[in-house]
Chain A
Amino acid sequence: MKHYELEISQFVDNELPEHGRKELFVHLAECEECGRVLADYMEMKSGSRSFYENMEYEPEHPVNLPVLPQRTKERNIYQAMFYFAAAASVVLGLMFFMQQSSTNTITQKYKMLKTEYGKLDFNYNQAIKEVKTAEENYAPQNIPNDIKRGKEKSKKAQAAGRMAYKNTRQNTTDLTAENKDYMGNRPQLIRVVKVTQSDYLTPQIVGN
């Protein structure tokens, strides 16, 4: 016999549509088990409500409310002006460049764009200043040969980097066990369907 636990849960939430309710009541008349479920859910409902009602918010230390910051309209305008000026300089620079050069290869264009890109992303540089770069601590263990590297770090520095990297990896592994218990915030309910005889495009190939 089909049980109606999900429908009971919806009913208790006041989210079961009309036709579902009728069907549920008919079933409840015959099914003791579902009757118990309903009673339990109702009791849990009132119990959880009182649980939270009894939780008074009475902080021990006084709470200091923060100051609401001023809207910085002028800053936005300056930012917009900067971006406009930067963009305009890129366009003008491009036009000037195209006029000047007779062998305008892609590489030269790339170099010029890269410089302009570097000027535009002052935000990124600012961000990087605020963030501790992990290069010393995060050296990869297997470095492919065909990556062009900057100056070669001393062997000691490399080894230190690898050790530090190893340690962070260990920290990450430690979290794995807990994370598997935690359901995460991207659960997807997957419906599994099976293939039946009628789904075959040809008669089923059985053995060879």
Chain B
Amino acid sequence: MEYWNNGMMESAYQSITPIFHYFKVRPLRSVKFFLLLILIAFSNAYAQFDNYHLDFKAVVKSGDGVQKLVLFNRGNIDDVIDGYVLISRGTHDMEGRIKKGGFNFLDPKIFEVGLPSLRRTWVKNNFPVKNIEVMTNGVDVEKVYSFEVTPEILNIKSDSISFYIKGVFYDLTKQTDKYSEYNLNYNINLTYKLFTVPYNKSVRLDFFCEQFNDYSFSVKFNKIDKDDEYLSIQNNRPLFEGIEQSASESSLPPNVRIEFGTEYIRADVNKPADLITLLHSDYLLTVQQHSLVPVNALDDRQFGDKTDLPVDIYYTDLSFPFKLYNKEKAELYKNYKTKSEIFKSNYNIVIVPISLNADTITADVLLNYTKINLNDNIPRWTPIRKRVKLIRGFPVAINLPKENWSASFTRDREKYSIYGYSDFEQYVNEYLVVSFDSIKQTDGE
């Protein structure tokens, strides 16, 4: 639900109202002084803001439960976050990115057509309307939502954050007779909204449903103390040491930031998984995230110290429902109440870039996962480290091994007996797809 809380922001503002009272008395003389005071106030505030990063996560899910898209951005407190999500025509494939300028019909990366001379940066959602469709292959797209999120934080210590979300919905499925035959026309809707939400809580924005039926759009903000930006790996020494080892082999130059993307795919073993075109909607389940979270330190509570890494690594947790594809077994547990809590998969993915060469990255992909959520400390799924060579535009799909695991347990008097291979593994092929969008040089922090 949308969350609106005026009170907190008002109290924050009231702490600086004495300044305004002063100006009520002398409205004309004091402009310069006023500006100076504002400067001082803000510089103090921003000094505090400097200690924090703002994590933004947008999650879009399709109504049929097959596709989930996670867009992630870690940036400064006052950064504006632009991005887009689109649904392709016909296949209803979902794609999205956090990208400066949001969605640009002329961007060749999106449509792979378009001349350099015709590219225009989409600044502040100032889009051209006529003739655009002939300059692109926009017909592949059914709907687009392009957004610009501007956080509004006055008091860094507050529990909640306000943000403006400006957005444009394009619906390309409508054609009108106003235009000549080859000019596709699209329904354009602008939205401009303000929300106040608590930190670290996923909040669904319902206005999205009005345009994108059957899809949900949620956002989550988190403020991260820069000192707390490390990856905590508990009770998994092999994974910890694996990451350390990979990081020590890295020859990446300093201050390089990579936009990695990852996707978990579960495909029906009987249907050929057409990874050539990577149509997400063809699969049983897909969960993709762009981009991953960068960190440069590890923490292993067991042994104490925080370990600084020589290179930035990137991680995420992909979580999604687990399902028994063995029909008899699924029928047995159909009405179990504890099922929703237990049938949750969690895939921890860490990417350590090893070397960099023009448009190619060699990276170690580390994967630690649990297919069901049991917390009984029994290892069932072997963690993996795989070295892959990534070329821009050529994702790599790691075909995950079918493991022979089992779990027999009782939870709240509901008895389970699951044989991983016969109840799940033999019905599916699982892939972890890894790709990257861009390599950037940062200014070093």
Which A residues have a C-beta under 8 Å from some C-beta of B? 95, 98-107, 110, 113-114, 117, 121, 123-124, 127-128, 130-134, 137-138, 140-144, 146-147, 168, 171-172, 175-176, 178-180, 183-195, 199-208
Contact = CB atoms under 8 A, between A and B. Distances in A.
Given A168-B174, A180-B91, A195-B398, A106 B152 contact: yes
B357 interface: no
Contacts of B166: 117
Contacts of A133: 187
Contact of B210 (A147, A200, A202): A147
Interface of B: 1-2, 6, 9-10, 13-14, 17, 20-21, 23-24, 27, 31, 34, 88-91, 111-113, 126-127, 129-130, 137, 140, 142, 152, 154, 162, 164, 166, 171, 173-174, 176, 178, 185-188, 190, 192, 194, 196, 206-207, 209-210, 213, 238-239, 242, 275-278, 366, 378-386, 388, 393-401, 403-407, 431, 433
A189 B242 CA distance: 29
B395 A190 contact: yes
A205 B188 contact: no
B405 A208 contact: yes
A175 to B, nearest CB: 5
Binding site secondary structure of chain A = loop
Contact of B383 (A98, A100, A201): A201
A78 B142 CA distance: 35
Given A127-B129, A138-B187, 14 more contacts: A99-B34, A103-B14, A103-B17, A105-B6, A105-B10, A131-B187, A140-B213, A184-B277, A188-B276, A188-B277, A188-B278, A190-B433, A195-B398, A202-B238
23 contacts: A95-B31, A99-B20, A103-B10, A124-B188, A137-B174, A146-B1, A146-B206, A172-B90, A179-B89, A179-B91, A188-B276, A190-B275, A192-B275, A192-B397, A195-B384, A199-B385, A199-B386, A201-B382, A201-B385, A202-B379, A205-B382, A207-B406, A208-B405
B75 to A, nearest CB: 21
Contacts of A184: 88, 140, 277
